[in-house]
């Protein structure tokens, strides 16, 4: 099965490459662009678009609101180095027919690993055709030793918190000297309101201090339990 299975990818130069799955390595995926583009048309059921990724410092595409929700969480994940949407076409014999599948995302991880992600609503996972495609993909991703993850609806509180923090993700909107000053004075676990008060001692205003603390939470320089709604009493812990 694996000998006939190919990964087809498009490079930034627009060149198309096809590599046997048994021979593919992370080096083949260093310069790829999305395999296909997203379509917009009147009356479509999904809502595609682009999200400006702090990790990539560039837009990354999504095909649905569920993909956007998971994309924001991927952008926030500390182990993710880079994100590519619709990264390649997986094509091969599944024992009965030629099967083709384009995964939703490819993540290059900070430890050098690769994680391939498909995003599906939880209720779709019991549909036989969907389940067969995802199981086939999972088996094949094990050949090059890549992680494979299926993402469904995320924890709503976690998503709400991270979506809120994503409004403070743009590094170029913050002076690094201010960010570093705030990071230094918040040097022990304390409530969010207390962290803002501490930061305001070295910054121009309380509003600016609040924005910087939220930026540090996005950067993971500060940590908090984001499975509980973020408020003034939430504990902020220097990482």
Express each pLDDT in 3-20 by its tens digit.
479 999 999 888 999 999
Q: Residue 96: its pLDDT value, please? A: 84
Q: Residue 211: its pLDDT value, please? A: 98
Contacts of 223 (CB under 8 A, 6+ apart): 217, 236, 237, 238, 239
Q: Residue 2: its pLDDT value, please? A: 43
Task: Give the closest residue to 197 by CA, choosing from 188, 207, 189.
Answer: 207
Whether 226 shows a pLDDT value over 80: the answer reads yes
Mean pLDDT, rounded, of the chain: 93
Tell me the sheet residues that pair with 148. Answer: 116
Q: SS3 for 17?
A: strand
Q: SS3 for 37?
A: coil
Common-topology check for domains 2-151 and 167-238: no
Where is pLDDT greater, at 37 or 154?
Answer: 154
Domain boundaries, the chain: 2-151, 167-238
Q: In what order do the strands lie in the sheet with 105-109?
A: 80-85, 105-109, 114-119, 147-151
Q: Label residue 44 by pLDDT band (50, 70, 90).
A: low
Rounded CA-CA distance 223/167 in Å is: 17
Instruction: Give the CATH fold of the 167-238 domain.
Output: Arc Repressor Mutant, subunit A (1.10.10)
Distance of CA 2 to the CA centre of its chain: 28
Q: Residue 1: its pLDDT value, please? A: 41
Question: Looking up tokens 């046997």, which residue turns up?
Answer: 20
- The CATH-assigned architecture of domain 2-151 is 3-Layer(aba) Sandwich (3.40)
Identify the DSSP state of 225.
Answer: -
Q: Label residue 47 by pLDDT band (50, 70, 90).
A: confident
Sign of CA dihedral 214, 66, 227, 75: negative
Rounded CA-CA distance 114/119 in Å is: 16
Task: Give the closest residue to 69 by CA, choosing from 161, 147, 134, 169.
Answer: 161
Question: Looking up tokens 């992600």, which residue turns up?
Answer: 117
């Amino acid at each position: 099965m694996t000998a006939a299975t190919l990964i087809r990818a498009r490079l930034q130069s627009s060149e198309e490459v096809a590599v046997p799955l048994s021979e593919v390595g992370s080096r083949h995926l260093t310069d790829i662009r999305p395999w296909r583009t997203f379509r917009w048309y009147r009356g479509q059921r999904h809502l595609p678009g682009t999200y400006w990724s702090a990790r990539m410092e560039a837009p990354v595409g999504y095909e649905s609101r569920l993909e956007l929700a998971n994309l924001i969480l991927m952008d926030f994940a500390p182990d993710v180095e880079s994100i590519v949407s619709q990264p390649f076409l997986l094509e091969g014999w599944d024992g009965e027919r030629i099967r083709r599948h384009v995964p939703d995302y490819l993540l290059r991880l900070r430890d050098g690993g690769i994680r391939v992600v498909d995003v599906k609503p939880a209720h779709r996972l019991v549909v036989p055709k969907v389940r067969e495609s995802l199981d086939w993909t999972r088996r094949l991703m094990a050949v090059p030793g890549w992680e494979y993850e299926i993402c469904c609806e995320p924890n709503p509180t976690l998503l709400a918190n991270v979506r809120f923090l994503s409004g403070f993700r743009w590094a170029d909107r913050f002076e690094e000297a201010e960010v570093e000053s705030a990071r230094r004075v918040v040097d022990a676990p304390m409530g969010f309101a207390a962290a803002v008060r501490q930061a305001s001692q070295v910054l121009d205003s309380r509003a600016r201090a609040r924005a910087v603390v939220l930026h540090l939470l996005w950067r993971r320089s500060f940590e908090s339990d984001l499975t509980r709604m973020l408020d003034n009493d939430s504990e902020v812990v220097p990482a």
